[in-house]
Amino acid sequence: YTNVTNEDDYKIRKDIDEAQSSIKNNNALAIALFDKILQKFPSSPRSLYGKALALDDLADKKRSNEILEKALQLYEKVLKADKVPTALFNLVADRCINRLRFLGQYRRAINFHQLIIDKFPKNPKHLNSLGVTYLTMNRVEDARSVFKQVLTKWPEDGFSLVHYGFILKTADNKFEKAIHYLEKGINTKDEGVIDGRFYFHLGDALARVGRNSDAIKIYEEGTKNKVFLSKYQRSLYNVPRLTANPWWSPKDLPYPNSFQLLTDSWRKIKEEGLAILSETGFFQDESENLKDTGEWKQFELFARGQKNVKNCKKCPFTCSVIDRIPEAKTCRRGQTKFSVMHPGTHVWPHCGPTNCRIRVHLGLKVPPSTFIRVAEDTKSWKDGELLIFDDSFEHEVWHNGTEFRLILIVDVWHPELTPSERHNLSPI
């Protein structure tokens, strides 16, 4: 512990080490021992830190934000104390920011960031951390200016390079520039740069400027570095053990009654879909920037396992069908929605966010010359029939026909997820 122990703490190191040794196994004992030391040496940095760690651990076990708050106040004391060794300061700074983000207390986190940066303005790590908090808060312009500031002083900083590239790609659609920063950042192999999000957007930027073979290389490299399940399956929120097939057939899924119900109901579902389509303002543009050319809109009925009550009033029959399909209705990692695509549309190759769902398409009005590729196989829809695929695999869609195409998209849980996983996985 020498690099976290200052001169004064060194004199009482035996007591501190003893208290420290019970932090994980006996929070109460550790707290009592640190309290004893703190009575004599109220500003001992390692004792304040040790007590904070014990409280932090206890808060975790008891899921208590009140106890965590006590830990945070002690962390703050360390950050403001005199003669705190740099290594200790860094430990406290990281943990403190981590916990404030966990609590969603971003504004308070920013005050802490400022304090930390003021104390160590020459360490880009602290500025980078502020940039990440801004991104989490969706304050993209603030994040951008922080990363820019880092890169002015430290042009080779990998963490900042990938984040700046990420902003250029996702907020500005500046693909060439984004490629430059993402590539350069990933190549540093610095801590935090080997991350699925950066590989994902680097590959996508390459594909969008027509450098397909370079994109594939990135996807292969990402797979080798374990940020993707495979070069085609690039979802980032995964349960690792699940069977991974690009295309599924109804008989490989344990939902035969649901599929029967959907195909039996297709004409009435189509009628409802067409009725909404004939009114303006209900179908919404696809919002994820996946479209190359054309027009592609959706009308959402269920999302994240919740019914959109307002929209379901417009198509009660379709929603009543989904109500009878528990693996769709409860699918908190997916949606049910009508999807309309107009002639001349091309959707860029893309992957859904999670491998926890299987995407069922029910063809409602399918003109010729419409195609969907999933991984290496291209298929088309048929009226009243199901097309089933895993949308965590790369897929791409074309409409080269002359009339609009209408389908119902129904996400269902991946069949190998247990009831408790279906219950507990975070919604997407």
183 binds, among Mn ion, ligand LMR, none (CB under 5 to 8 A by kind): none
Least CB distance to ligand LMR at residue 173 (A): 19
| Contact map string, positions 170 to 199, toward ligand LMR, x by CB under 6 A | ------------------------------
Q: Does 233 bind ligand LMR (CB under 6 A)?
A: no
Q: Toward ligand LMR, which CB reaches closer, 147 or 259? A: 259
Q: Does 391 bind ligand LMR (CB under 6 A)?
A: yes
Q: Toward ligand LMR, which CB reaches closer, 140 or 274? A: 274
Task: Using alpha carbons, select from 81, 77, 67, 90 the residue that is nearest to residue 3.
Answer: 90
DSSP assignment of 113-145 equals HHHHHHH-TT-HHHHHHHHHHHHHTT-HHHHHH
Q: Toward ligand LMR, which CB reaches closer, 163 or 399? A: 399
Q: Which letter does DSSP use for residue 393 in this model?
A: B
Query: How many other CB atoms sit within 10 Å of the CB of residue 49?
Result: 26
Least CB distance to Mn ion at residue 337 (A): 11
Q: Does 339 bind ligand LMR (CB under 6 A)?
A: yes
What's the distance, CA 170 to chain centroid? 14
Q: Does 84 bind ligand LMR (CB under 6 A)?
A: no
Report the residue from 19, 372, 408, 412 that binds ligand LMR according to the rule CB under 6 A. Answer: 372
CB 287 within 8 A of CB 275: no
Q: Does 235 bind ligand LMR (CB under 6 A)?
A: no
Four-CA torsion 175, 179, 181, 185, nearest 10 degrees: 150
CB 351 within 8 A of CB 235: yes
Q: Does 397 bind ligand LMR (CB under 6 A)?
A: yes
Q: Does 96 bind ligand LMR (CB under 6 A)?
A: no
Segment contacting ligand LMR (CB under 6 A): 29-37, 84-92, 257-265, 389-397? 389-397
Burial of 267 (0-12, 13-18, 19+ CB in 10 A): exposed
CB 21 within 8 A of CB 10: no
Residue nearest to Mn ion (CB): 391
341 binds, among Mn ion, ligand LMR, none (CB under 5 to 8 A by kind): ligand LMR
How many Cα atoms sit within 13 Å of 55 on the Cβ side?
Answer: 24
**Token digits for 348?**
């860029």
Q: Does 336 bind ligand LMR (CB under 6 A)?
A: no
Interior angle at CA 376, CA 372 and CA 380, nearest 5: 25
Residues in contact with Mn ion, total (CB under 5 A)? 1
- The 3-state DSSP composition of the chain as helix, strand, coil percent (nearest 5) reads 55, 15, 30
CB 112 within 8 A of CB 80: no
Using CA atoms, how far apart are residues 187 and 390, in angstroms rounded to an integer? 31
Residue nearest to ligand LMR (CB): 339
Query: How many other CB atoms sit within 10 Å of the CB of residue 284?
Result: 11
Q: Toward ligand LMR, which CB reaches closer, 194 or 301? A: 301
Q: Toward ligand LMR, which CB reaches closer, 160 or 339? A: 339
Using CA atoms, how far apart are residues 211 and 335, in angstroms rounded to an integer? 32
Segment contacting ligand LMR (CB under 6 A): 78-86, 165-173, 276-284, 390-398? 390-398
Using CA atoms, how far apart are residues 216 and 200, in angstroms rounded to an integer? 11
Residues in contact with ligand LMR, total (CB under 6 A)? 9
Interactions with Mn ion, residue window 350-409 (CB under 5 A): 391
Q: Toward ligand LMR, which CB reaches closer, 161 or 409? A: 409
Query: How many other CB atoms sit within 10 Å of the CB of residue 21?
Result: 14
Q: Does 341 bind ligand LMR (CB under 6 A)?
A: yes
Q: Toward Mn ion, which CB reaches closer, 195 or 391? A: 391
**Token digits for 132?**
């990440």
Least CB distance to ligand LMR at residue 425 (A): 20
Q: Does 269 bind ligand LMR (CB under 6 A)?
A: no
Which spans of this chain sit near ligand LMR (rule: CB under 6 A)? 339, 341, 359, 372, 391, 395, 397, 407, 409
Residues making contact with Mn ion (CB under 5 A): 391
